[in-house]
Copies of this chain bind each other. A is one copy, B any other.
Amino acid sequence: LFGELLSDSEIALEFGADAFTRHMLEFELAWTRALGQCGIVPVDDAEAAEDAIMAFAIPDLGESSNRDGIPVPALVSAIRQGLPEGVAHAIHSGATSQDVIDTAMVLSCLSAVDILSQRIGSVLEAMEEVLERFGDRPLMARTRMQASLPATVALRIEAWKRPLEDHLARADKVRSALQVVQIGGAIGIRENPNKHIEDCAETLAEILGLKLGPVWHTDRSRMVEFGNWMMLVAGTLGKMGQDIALMSQQGVDKIALRGGGGSSAMPHKQNPVASEIMTTLARYASGQQAILGQAMIHEQERSGAAWALEWLTLPAMAEAVGASLRHAKTLMTSVECMGMAEPRA
């Protein structure tokens, strides 16, 4: 109903059932290939298993998720269905559901980081243009909501731009934190099914374009780091939205925008909708991060309770940031005027 105002369909796709299941199958395919390459299962079995995975038609996994808490047990048993025992054994052996889910989630998160980073770049370009057009114009600086000293439009735009540039630079660290395959086996000690398991894990990581590191079944720091980055981006955009909403006020009149929301009762109004929603989404993302933080308390060798908090918050945060970046772009390309009419003497 609210269209793309508060959500983002492109980002949503990356975390949706189709993309996520595709990522889970990428994991299974890579793992089967790795099992074969490292001699853990016979190469023939591995190849037959790969064919089976590639030919696999994904069934609806919703109901089994409801039962198992995760879609993996049903997925694995559906893939194995009807396969000879050796071939079936070349699938998923030595891996556990969490390996599949976490690696698939990492792939979805990385796609989201790419989309978000690219949008940050695009917002920065649009900002640059506004800066060139209006940066020299006079603007009264306001501290604690009070007029303080005369300045120029550049002061305010640069306060939006600089942190966004920093966040873009931070994206590399986030990507690096996320690019670690999850492969720990049943209880996170990566010792099954045999001594070549470390090679196999290494191969898996290579095939998927990820890195190998220690098992992170119970250490959710990388997910929290990703959330933190999204909260930072959303926060800077929230500041920008707040500033624009304040500049739009009659009496202050420091920005004029094309478009702007209509009112059903007051046709003369131009509501600074995009800027308000950027503030909304910043507060929303910030709140989700507190929930995500609870996922750190991941008891024993695997917590169903703490883990599921990530699935509830990360996609929602990514959509919020994605939508906010779209709004920022819309705003920056709709600026008709910023600051006062005459360039500062």
Q: Which A residues lie at the B interface, using CB under 8 A?
A: 1-6, 16-17, 20-21, 61-74, 76, 92, 95-97, 100, 140-149, 151, 155-156, 159, 162-163, 166-167, 185-189, 214, 217-221, 224-225, 228, 231-232, 234-236, 238-239, 241-243, 245-246, 248-253, 259, 261-266, 269-273, 276-277, 279-280, 282-291, 293-306, 308-309, 311-313, 316
Beyond the given pairs A68-B263, A288-B291, A289-B293, 4 more chain A to chain B contacts, judged by CB atoms under 8 angstroms and listed by A's residue number, are A2-B71, A145-B304, A234-B296, A239-B299
A144 touches B271 (CB 8 A): yes
B224 touches A232 (CB 8 A): yes
B276 touches A305 (CB 8 A): yes
> For residue A72, which residue of chain B has the nearest CB?
B264
A253 touches B250 (CB 8 A): no
| Contacts A2-B65, A282-B297; A149 near B187 (Cβ below 8 A) | yes
Q: How far is the CB of A302 from chain B (nearest CB, A)?
A: 4
| Contacts A1-B16, A73-B262, A287-B288; A186 near B218 (Cβ below 8 A) | no
A259 cross-chain contacts in B, Cβ below 8 A: 67
10 of the cross-chain contacts (CB-CB < 8 Å) are A73-B262, A144-B271, A162-B219, A186-B265, A231-B296, A235-B295, A252-B252, A276-B305, A276-B308, A285-B293
A271 cross-chain contacts in B, Cβ below 8 A: 68-69, 143-146, 304
A305 touches B290 (CB 8 A): no
> For residue A143, which residue of chain B has the nearest CB?
B302
Q: What separation, in Å, do the CA atoms of A316 and B316 have in the docked complex? A: 11
| Contacts A20-B1, A148-B266; A143 near B289 (Cβ below 8 A) | no
* In-complex Cβ contact of A276 among B96, B145, B289 (8 A): B145
Q: What separation, in Å, do the CA atoms of A27 and B67 have in the docked complex? A: 40
Q: How far is the CB of A124 from chain B (nearest CB, A)?
A: 15
A6 cross-chain contacts in B, Cβ below 8 A: 308, 311-312
Q: What separation, in Å, do the CA atoms of A245 and B166 have in the docked complex? A: 31
A167 cross-chain contacts in B, Cβ below 8 A: 221
A20 cross-chain contacts in B, Cβ below 8 A: 1
Interface hub of A72, A232, A299, A313 (most chain B Cβ within 10 A)? A299
Interface hub of A65, A232, A250, A283 (most chain B Cβ within 10 A)? A283
Q: What separation, in Å, do the CA atoms of A165 and B249 have in the docked complex? A: 30
Q: What separation, in Å, do the CA atoms of A269 and B144 have in the docked complex? A: 10
A159 cross-chain contacts in B, Cβ below 8 A: 188, 217-219, 301
A245 cross-chain contacts in B, Cβ below 8 A: 145, 305
